[in-house]
Structure 1
Amino acid sequence: MKIITVNVNGIRAAEKKGFFDWLKKEDAEVVCLQEIKAQEDQLDERFYPKEYHCYYHPAEKKGYSGTAIFSKKKPNLVVKKTDWEDMNFEGRIIQADFDDLSVVSIYIHSGSSKQERQDLKMAFLTQRFMPHLKQLKANGKKVIFCGDVNIVHQKRDIKNFTGNKNRSGCLPEERAYLDELFDKVGFIDAFREINQEDGQYTWWSNRGQAWANNTGWRIDYQILTPNLKGTVKNTQIYKDQRFSDHAPLIMEYKF
């Protein structure tokens, strides 16, 4: 199974850059999108490729946030609403269930705009999301979380660690959260199951020469419940074309 996740930073902008033509060639079973920045009534047939069942969860606020899932196989169930009303309002999560496997497209808050948003981000991660993840593990659920987590895990996941270690996305408490998730709770960073190289990034600032100099951050993930360990077959960060400030993360699984 091939799964692609990408923050498109505006699905209409990505479409103009050839995203859907590329997607057709990739022929993935499941595609997870974040930051679609569009309401469904703003999207025509170009945004509903015939190869897929397409499900959007836009934010209530126009031109902001939002997630989507495309799947070749029709899901048994698609879940857009959670107990987390702020996540629902901003369209930050959508889940598709396929028999015993769930795939989630999730867009974690950025805390870079102001301290209030950073506080919201950490409160969601620690008080709500981590308990949810632990419960999934306890229940034996098989889940793949795909999306923009807005956190780098280790020094090797960011070009300029020293200059950014006190900025949102690279804060000690954020990286410690991922330490706990991966090292203690046992969830799997699917990319690192295959690729241990430095300099593997998925996002580059539009300022300066970040893309040209590969001054990037690895903040996009496919995160697996512990019972999916050993299922990763292949991985790629696609950089031959640019559809947004993020690169698509492509994973292939042995199921």
Structure 2
Amino acid sequence: MPQSALRIASINTNGIRAAFRKGMGDWLESRDVDIVTIQEVRATTADIEALVGDGWHVLHDPCEIKGRAGVAILSRQPALAHRTELGDDTVDSSGRWLEADFEINGKTVTIVSTYVHSGEVDTPKQDAKWLFLDAMTQRLPELAAEREYALVTGDLNVGHRELDIKNWRGNRKRSGFLPRERAYFDRFFGPLGEDVVGVDDTVGPGLGWIDVGRQHAGEVDGPFTWWSWRGQAFTNDTGWRIDYHVATPALAATVADYAVDRADSYDARWSDHTPVVVDYAI
């Protein structure tokens, strides 16, 4: 890996085989990334290896239910170790949480590819999402205690702030922008150890992690990372910012560049999400 910067990309492929048929391979070949975290793989490990070809090490946690979810990490060098469980047996993390440790310029860096449940209000799907977010709330402090350099990437399926959804007024009662969901993120990104009042008026300790995308972009709309296939959502940039790089403060301090690889046109898209690419000068 380059000594100057570590380039990490995250992407929900919405099915990696379909994404490669539409052009993901060209992006992967030209983007010069060192590590790629993938969500919604929806394929086998053999499928991934055949698609990406030589030069990549593949870690993959498939979903127990065929054709659903699945997370993976592609890397130019092998991982030191990896783990796939999040929380206890009550948490549905199959194909949704993959941690890997890498040695980067003499430092151990833990990188996570995660796919949070999309949820649906007042259904078991939302109950599964609450349990997953609870488990993340437990795991993030553990990760930060274990590693100075740790990074959680992927499709977190929550727009944290009004800036993160173009049509936020129309989505206040929908999963993905519920006040209770957003309050988790208030705490994720709140000052470490301080009481944080969430958007839903609950109070909890801040975990001190950094939203790299918001830190880099500042107080602007987006930049969005997901657009519906339907209608004019992509053309009008009516999107959601739900794909994140969530870093420990030490790692966030090394960010040299942040990019959202939005396609030039609707026809050029190979997923309903777009890659989020960050350079870390570790």
User: TM-score w.r.t. structure 1 length?
Assistant: 0.92
Shift of 1:216: 0.4
For 1:83-104, what per-residue CA distance to the aligned partner results, in whole angstroms no more than 9, with x for missing partners?
544544x311112211311111
- Aligned residue among 199, 215, 228 for 1:193: 215
- Mean Cα deviation higher: 221-230 or 28-37: 221-230
1:15 aligns with 2:24: no
Aligned match of 2:73: 69
Structure 1 stretch displaced more, 179-188 or 44-53: 44-53
- Aligned pairs (5 A) from 1:133-212: 133-183=140-190, 184-196=206-218, 197-212=220-235
1:19-78 Cα offsets, whole Å, 9 max, x none, are 01211111101000000111235x175423312111221112111100110001111112
Q: State whether structure 2 residue 247 is matched by structure 1 residue 224.
A: yes
Q: Is this contact kept in 2: 1:67–1:93, CA < 8 A?
A: yes
Q: State the alpha-carbon separation in 2 of the partners of residues 111 and 57 from structure 1.
A: 20
Aligned-pair distance for 1:207? 2.1
Is 2:118 the counterpart of 1:95? Answer: no
| Contiguous gaps of at least 5 residues in structure 1 | none
User: Which residue number corresponds to residue 248 of structure 1?
Assistant: 275
Structure 2 letter corresponding to 1:115: T
Structure 1 position 81, deviation (Å): 4.1
For residue 144 of structure 1, what is the amino acid of its counterpart? L
Q: Which amino acid aligns with 2:217?
A: N
Q: Is the 8 A contact 1:203 1:217 kept in 2?
A: yes
> Partner of 1:203: helix, strand, or coil?
coil
Task: Verify: 1:28 aligned to 2:33, yes or no.
Answer: yes
Identity of aligned residues (%): 40
The 1:52–1:45 alpha-carbon spacing in structure 2 relative to 1, beyond 3 Å, is closer
Unaligned regions of 5+ residues in structure 2, if any? 1-5, 191-205
Cα gap change, 1:134 to 1:82, in 2 (>3 Å): closer
User: Aligned AA for 2:100?
Assistant: A
Higher helix share: 1
Q: Which amino acid aligns with 2:277?
A: I
Determine helix, strand or coil for the equivalent of 1:145: strand
The separation in 1 between residues aligned to 2:126 and 2:250, in whole angstroms, is 31
AA in 2 matched with 1:125: L
User: Normalized against structure 2, the TM-score is what?
Assistant: 0.84
What corresponds to 1:115 in structure 2? 123
Structure 2 CA distance for aligned equivalents of residues 44 and 103 of structure 1: 19
In structure 2, distance between residues paired with 1:239 and 1:91? 26
RMSD between superposed Cα atoms in Å: 1.8
Offset of 1:151 from its aligned partner?
A: 0.2
Instruction: Give the length in aligned residue pairs.
Output: 252
